[in-house]
Amino acid sequence: TYGEHRAFLELTDEEHFEVYKHAKSLGLDFVETLCSKGCLSLLKLFTPDRLKVASRDLTNLPLLEVMAETRIPIILSTGMAGRKELDDALEVITRYHDDISILHCVSQYPTHPDNLNLKTIGYLKQHYGQYTIGFSDHTIGIAAPIVAVGMGAEMIEKHVTIDRRMKGTDQQGSLGPDGVNRMIRDIRIAERWLGKEELYIDASVALAKVKLERSIATNKILHPGDVVTENDIHLLSPGDGFKWAERDKVVGHKVLKEIPRNEIIYSSLIES
C-alpha cells in the first residue's frame, strides 16, 4: 500500500540524528520538517536550527502550535495557501514567537512557468515584511531562484537529488550537486548586481563619461572678439567641457583666442 511505501522510506529518529551530526560537522544549519506531533520526539536527540512546515500542513493548526511552543525558528511554505490560511497560521505561531520565514511556493512538481507568479514575493514583502520572505522553488533549472533573489527573496529552498533520473515526483524540479553549486554561484552574483536603491554615477563609468558624453563645441571658426551665439555651437565628444544645460556660460561671452570649427569651447578660450 501507499502507507507501507511511505513507512519504508521514513528515517528513524536515530537516523535523523546521524544526518544532523553530519550536517553540523560541515558547518551547515539543519532544517527539519515535522509532519505530526509525534515527530517532536526528535527534539529529545537534537535541536534543529529551524523547523519547516510543509505546504500541506499550513492549515494543521494543532501541529503548528506544538511546533511554535518549542520557540525554534519556523519556515512556512505557502504552496497550498491563500491569505486566510497564512494569517491563521501566523496567528497561532506568534502566540509564542515571531522568528518566522514565509516562502512563496507553488505545489506543482515541476512548476509550470505560467503558474509560478514570482510577483507574490513583492506582495509578501509588502504585507508581511516583518518576517523573512523567501521562495521555495519546484521549477526545472536554476533561473527562477535567481529572479526571486532579484525580487527581494532572502531565503531560497530548492530540492536536491543525487540523480534527476531517479523515481519520484520531485526529481525533475530538483538539482544535482553541480546544479546546486551553479545556483549558489549565480545567486551570489545576483546579490552583487543589485547594489543600492539610488541613482548615482558609479566611479567605474567616470572614464567612459568623459570620453563619450558631449560638450559644447563650435560649428564654425570663431575669432578673437566674436561674441558666441547659440547659432555658433553644437555638441561633440569628449564630455570634459560645458554641457548644453550650461550654455549660458558660453553664449553671450567674448572669444579670447581663435577656436577652429568643431572644437570644444573650454573656459580658457572665452571671457567668464
Structural domains of the chain sorted by starting position, each given as residue range(s) with its CATH number in brackets? 49-194 (3.20.20.70), 203-269 (3.90.1210.10)
Mean of all residue pLDDT scores within the chain: 94
Judge whether residue 35 has pLDDT over 90. no
What are the strands of the beta sheet with 74-77, ordered from one edge? Answer: 31-33, 50-53, 74-77, 100-105, 132-137, 156-158
pLDDT tens, 159-207? 999 888 888 778 888 999 999 999 999 999 999 999 988 988 888 998 9
Give the predicted TM-score (pTM) of the model.
Answer: 0.84
Helix axes 143-150, 177-194, angle to 10 degrees: 20
Whether the CB-CB separation of 124 and 151 falls below 8 Å is answered with no
What is the percent of the chain where pLDDT is above 90? 81
Q: Are strands 132-137 and 156-158 parallel, antiparallel or unpaired?
A: parallel
CA torsion angle 83 89 91 97 (round to 10): -130
Tell me what pLDDT residue 81 has: 87
**Lookup: cell for 205:** 563609468
C-alpha to C-alpha distance for 70 and 140, rounded to whole angstroms? 35
Contacts for 237 with CB less than 8 Å, ≥ 6 apart: 211, 212, 213, 214, 215
Tell me what pLDDT residue 25 has: 98
Whether the CB-CB separation of 72 and 50 falls below 8 Å is answered with yes
pLDDT tens, 95-133? 999 999 999 999 998 899 999 999 999 999 999 999 999
Provide the residue type at 238 as one letter: P
**Lookup: cell for 227:** 561674441
Tell me what pLDDT residue 213 has: 96
C-alpha to C-alpha distance for 174 and 172, rounded to whole angstroms? 5
The angle subtended at Cα 215 by Cα 209 and Cα 216, nearest 5°, is 175
Mean pLDDT of the 3-10 span: 89
